[in-house]
Amino acid sequence: MSVFDVTEQDFMERVVERSREVPVVVDFWAEWCGPCRQLGPALENAARAREGLVDLAKVDVDSNQLLAQSFRVQGIPAVKAFKDARVVSEFTGAIPPADVERFFDSLLPSEAERLAASAQSEDELRRALELDPGHAGAGVRLGRMLLARGEVDEARELLERFPGDFVAQGLLAGLELDARDAGVHDAFRAWEEGDCERALARLEEALNASDDPEVRDLIRKAMVAIFTELGPASEVASRYRRRLAAALN
């Protein structure tokens, strides 16, 4: 269902977590609000026309005042779009249907995003990066392919283009740790094989065995990269995140 009501009880699940899969537009409205009744049908039509691509969640501010306060809703209708668990776009007040359509279209994945999400080959990932050189997801996947082939210099140059991406920085940390012979090769092999718990255990061992601040920081970056890939709901990530924090304090 692309249009649904949400409350304070299910907002995190149906909006914030759902927005990791598809964009979710949230309409903060009230029954007594004339502009809300004017805007509502345009929002619902836009969502239904993009079934499966964008969801529309409706929040009655009278019944969910804490939500309205949390998102600093000062006037209604207030519309906020969530992607990857954060607000990425918003507007307040009733706008024409054509502008509503453009607002929804702006949330749809770009050609580069669609290509990166479905890419099965190196050529497709390179094409995604041609379309969007800043697409970290495509860059990280391609970087991993290059590392698996032993093309370390090209992989390093590529991954260095994404200083804000935790996974890219973790892979770069792995290259630096290998260069320092820090004894974490088995950890990175486990990560590559998908055994994240074994990778974290080996990295923790290396962290506890080292008194070199630079090596410890590189290990931290690698562990944070694995936490990022596992996601916020991972029990393994939560357990090792607590242990990492204790080890660094």
**Three-class DSSP category at 3:** strand
Instruction: Decide the pairing of beta strands 3-5 and 55-60.
Output: parallel
Q: Is the pLDDT of residue 56 over 70?
A: yes
Spatial distance between the Cα atoms of 146 and 156, rounded to a whole number of angstroms: 9
CATH of the domain at 44: 3.40.30.10
Closest listed residue to residue 244, CA positions, set 185, 170, 189: 170
pLDDT in tens, 71-116: 999 999 999 999 988 899 999 999 999 999 999 999 998 889 888 8
CATH of the domain at 125: 1.25.40
- The pLDDT value given to residue 78: 95
- How high does pLDDT run on average in the chain? 93
The reply to whether 208 and 224 lie within a common domain is yes
The reply to whether 154 and 58 lie within a common domain is no
The reply to whether 10 and 94 lie within a common domain is yes
Give CA separation, 218 vs 166, 170, 213, in Å: 12, 8, 9
The reply to whether 125 and 217 lie within a common domain is yes
Q: How many domains does the chain have?
A: 2
169 Cβ partners below 8 Å, 6+ apart? 159, 162, 163, 221, 224, 225
The reply to whether 151 and 74 lie within a common domain is no
The reply to whether 127 and 231 lie within a common domain is yes
Last residue of a domain, one of 57, 77, 105: 105
The reply to whether 73 and 115 lie within a common domain is no
What residues form DSSP beta bridges with 5? Answer: 58
What pTM, to 2 d.p., does this model score? 0.68
The reply to whether 154 and 176 lie within a common domain is yes
Give CA separation, 201 vs 172, 186, 236, in Å: 19, 10, 10
User: Which stretch of DSSP H or E encloses residue 215?
Assistant: helix 213-230
Spatial distance between the Cα atoms of 189 and 53, rounded to a whole number of angstroms: 36
CB-based contact 28:68 (threshold 8 Å)? yes
pLDDT in tens, 224-235: 999 999 987 899
Q: Which residues are catalytic?
A: 33, 36
The reply to whether 150 and 238 lie within a common domain is yes
- The pLDDT value given to residue 7: 94
Confidence of residue 249 (pLDDT cuts 50, 70, 90): confident
Last residue of a domain, one of 64, 85, 105: 105
Last residue of a domain, one of 82, 105, 128: 105
pLDDT in tens, 149-196: 999 999 999 999 999 899 999 999 999 998 888 789 899 999 999 999
- The pLDDT value given to residue 196: 96
pLDDT in tens, 70-79: 899 999 999 9
- The pLDDT value given to residue 1: 65
Q: Is the pLDDT of residue 13 over 80?
A: yes
Range of the domain at 43: 3-105
- The pLDDT value given to residue 181: 84
pLDDT in tens, 121-157: 999 999 999 999 999 999 999 999 999 999 999 999 9
